[in-house]
Structure 1
Amino acid sequence: MSALLKPLSRLLLPILLLLGGCSPAGFAVGVAASGGVAASSEKGFVTAVDDVGIRAGLNDRFFQRDLALFGDVSFAVEEGRVLLTGNVPTPADEVEAVRLAWQPEGVREVINELNVRDESSLVDQARDRWIATRLRADMMLDREISAVNYSVEVLNGRVFLLGIARNQGELERIKAYARQIPYVRGIVSHVRLLDAPA
């Protein structure tokens, strides 16, 4: 892959997945786009395709079950590991979100980082989106970091990382970027090292 196409494919994948939605055609676009990124990802093509399938299954189940829950819960998927973040109104909603997260075929772990009570204002939510966008940009611009290997979620100023670090130094670089961003209140890492067992 040329030096120009590699960063471009990293930028286009999330856009294609969002535009594709949950339709079969959208899923096919997402899988095809994953192929280009998977070539440079540590997890490989098959795992990338499996993760896209899990994400499509999560979207479908949450959407069919409860639109409010679908809007309240965000999820990232890496190597069959599902990270749940967001604010849900009741403990019953939290239990239901975890139950739904285990349903798609291929899910190996569900990491529950849900808040049961909504503590965030519109300003907090906008700030969280800004933090996530800035951290993702810092990661993509750093040649020492393979940003395609990570998912970033931010909730109430807490940064949640999920993915595969090629080495401890790469993970520490990401954490250092996160610490420099104003309003970050903490970093929670669910990242595994490449040479650690999956």
Structure 2
Amino acid sequence: MITHRRFSAAALRPSTFALLALLAAVPLLQGCVGVAVGAGAAVGVAAAEERGAKNAGNDKGIQLAINERLLQKDLGLFGKVSVTVYEGRALLTGVVQKQEDSDEAAKIAWSNDRVVEVLNELQIAPSGNLIDSASDTWITSQLRVKLTGDGNIVDINYSITTVNGIIYLIGLAQNEEELQRVTDHARTIKGVRRVVSHVWLKTDSRRRPV
């Protein structure tokens, strides 16, 4: 059973405000009108997704809560771990220095009682092993363009993250054929080393939408 909690502003810890301020900083720079338009667009996109606006909002709340816990635990860990949540399934990506860091991040994700699965895809590398963020960003954008341009794919149902040339996918596919098209597009992009899919079919019996 999912329990919804309400928090007053007074109950929020300083770290919560710091996290929310950090996440809000970029859109605020766009100006008030841009924020309003962006918020409206986000609601529209969420409503059009297979998971629906309610699930999208729930997932965003889980993501923020996990990020807050990471920030409270270790600022360095917070900076290295990227969290994507889809219908309560938390995907962790990024690069950490040791297995203990990976285990700690997974433990923090599992501590959220609304999380139904933790997909720990954190890469472990020694200090000094850098992420080629420019290349990864380019790969992600190229795949997004390919999915958007394919009329046989409902691209808004897919979340894409690329780390060191490895593409991680999570979301919902209309059918096996669509999922195969998405994977094929990903594999054709220059610089892609591997494609890891955590995408479920929309008819999957394991789904637990709110």
Alignment partner of 1:49 out of 45, 57, 60: 57
Q: Deviation at 1:34?
A: 4.5
Tell me the residue number matched to 2:119: 111
Q: Distance in 2 between matches of 1:33 and 1:65?
A: 33
- AA paired with 1:35? V
Structure 1 residue ranges, 4+ long, deviating more than 4 angstroms after superposition: 29-34
- Counting only pairs closer than 5 Å after superposition, residues 39-118 of structure 1 correspond to structure 2 as 39-118=47-126
Alpha-carbon displacement from aligned partner over 1:46-99 (angstroms, at most 9, x marks no partner): 211110111111221112221111111112111100111111112211111001
Tell me the residue number matched to 1:193: 201
- Is residue 156 of structure 1 aligned with residue 164 of structure 2? yes
Task: Specify whether residues 175 and 120 from structure 1 end up closer, same or farther in structure 2 by C-alpha distance, changes over 3 A only.
Answer: farther
Q: Distance in 1 between matches of 2:145 and 2:111?
A: 32
Whether the 8 Å contact between 2:171 and 2:200 is mirrored in structure 1 is yes
Whether the 8 Å contact between 1:34 and 1:45 is mirrored in structure 2 is no
- AA paired with 1:176? D
Whether the 8 Å contact between 1:85 and 1:112 is mirrored in structure 2 is yes
- Is residue 22 of structure 1 aligned with residue 20 of structure 2? yes
Q: Distance in 2 between matches of 1:147 and 1:103?
A: 31
Task: Specify whether residues 74 and 43 from structure 1 end up closer, same or farther in structure 2 by C-alpha distance, changes over 3 A only.
Answer: same
Alignment partner of 1:143 out of 138, 147, 151: 151
Whether the 8 Å contact between 2:136 and 2:165 is mirrored in structure 1 is yes
Task: Specify whether residues 96 and 31 from structure 1 end up closer, same or farther in structure 2 by C-alpha distance, changes over 3 A only.
Answer: farther
- Is residue 175 of structure 1 aligned with residue 173 of structure 2? no
Q: Deviation at 1:148?
A: 1.5
Q: Distance in 2 between matches of 1:44 and 1:160?
A: 22
Tell me the residue number matched to 2:7: none
Q: Distance in 2 between matches of 1:84 and 1:145?
A: 25
Q: Distance in 2 between matches of 1:117 and 1:169?
A: 35
Please report the TM-score for the alignment, with normalisation by the length of structure 2.
Answer: 0.75
Q: Deviation at 1:110?
A: 0.2
Q: Deviation at 1:106?
A: 1.4
- AA paired with 1:22? L
Aligned length: 175
Q: Deviation at 1:177?
A: 1.1
Overall identity of the aligned pairs, in %: 42
Q: Aligned-residue CA RMSD in angstroms?
A: 2.4
Q: Distance in 2 between matches of 1:36 and 1:151?
A: 17
| SS of residue paired to 1:153 | strand
